[in-house]
């Protein structure tokens, strides 16, 4: 996480928070920003993994920052005086992971699969045959349907075909890591750092 060390130190780390289950019955996963179509270079479509049920986890990190309250409306909402400094929470999803239900994650080594998983809409995830949202109306309805993680602005939404999350600090290219058992991929992790 060398990129993160240049930012404020994290105060709260919630590692491997379980968020739901996803089925990959045919053992194929699309790893991409949901806005991309299947011919984009910076995604992994149809990647082979062990078929079956997967548990999905996220890692949330809080990067609080100090802000001086400049107007009465903000002061009223924060219950402070104008001019006061307050510490605001800035929670980010720093990784999303899927792990096969039969796999025991016992100190297995994570292997870099790609450093070019692109993000252009501030979202990314794992999908079993991700739908193409070619029509703007379909993309808009998809975005409107996304749920947020607890009391944050972070997207963390599981649909029958996959999981979509906010990508750390936004757009860019991120690393995809895997764990294998008997030659098959049984766990994948996208790291937004």
Give start and end residues of each alpha helix (H) in the chain: 72-78, 136-145
The model's pTM is 0.83
Q: Is the pLDDT of residue 62 over 90?
A: no
Res. 47 pLDDT band, cuts 50 70 90: very high
Task: Determine the pLDDT at residue 42.
Answer: 93
**Hey, which residues does 68 pair with through a beta bridge?**
85
- State mean pLDDT over 14-43: 92
Q: Is the pLDDT of residue 22 over 70?
A: yes
Confirm if 77 and 71 have CB atoms less than 8 A apart: no
Task: Determine the pLDDT at residue 15.
Answer: 65
Task: Determine the pLDDT at residue 107.
Answer: 65
Q: Is the pLDDT of residue 77 over 60?
A: yes
Task: Determine the pLDDT at residue 144.
Answer: 92
Mean pLDDT of the chain: 87
d(CA 37, CA 41): 10
Q: Which of 99, 106, 97 is nearest to 184 (CA)?
A: 99
Confirm if 186 and 99 have CB atoms less than 8 A apart: yes
Task: Determine the pLDDT at residue 133.
Answer: 84
Q: Is the pLDDT of residue 56 over 90?
A: yes
Task: Determine the pLDDT at residue 9.
Answer: 53
Task: Determine the pLDDT at residue 10.
Answer: 55
Please tell me which residue, 63 or 173, carries the higher pLDDT value: 173
């Amino acid at each position: 996480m060398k990129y993160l060390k240049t930012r404020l130190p994290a105060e709260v780390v919630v590692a491997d928070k379980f968020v739901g289950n996803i089925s990959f019955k045919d053992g194929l996963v699309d790893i991409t920003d949901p806005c991309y179509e299947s011919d984009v270079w910076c995604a992994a479509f149809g990647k082979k993994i062990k078929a079956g049920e997967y548990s999905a986890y996220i890692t949330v990190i809080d990067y609080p920052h100090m802000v001086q309250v400049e107007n009465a409306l903000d002061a009223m909402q924060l219950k402070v005086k104008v001019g006061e400094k307050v510490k605001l929470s800035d929670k980010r999803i720093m990784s999303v992971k899927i792990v096969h239900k039969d796999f025991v994650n016992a100190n297995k080594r994570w292997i870099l699969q790609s450093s070019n998983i692109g993000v252009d809409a501030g979202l990314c995830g794992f999908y079993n045959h991700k739908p193409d949202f070619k029509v703007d109306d379909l993309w808009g309805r998809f975005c409107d349907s996304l749920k947020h993680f607890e009391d944050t602005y972070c997207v963390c939404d599981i649909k029958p075909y996959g999981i979509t999350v906010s990508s750390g600090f936004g757009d860019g290219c991120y690393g995809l890591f895997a764990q294998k058992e008997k030659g098959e991929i049984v766990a994948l992790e996208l790291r937004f750092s």
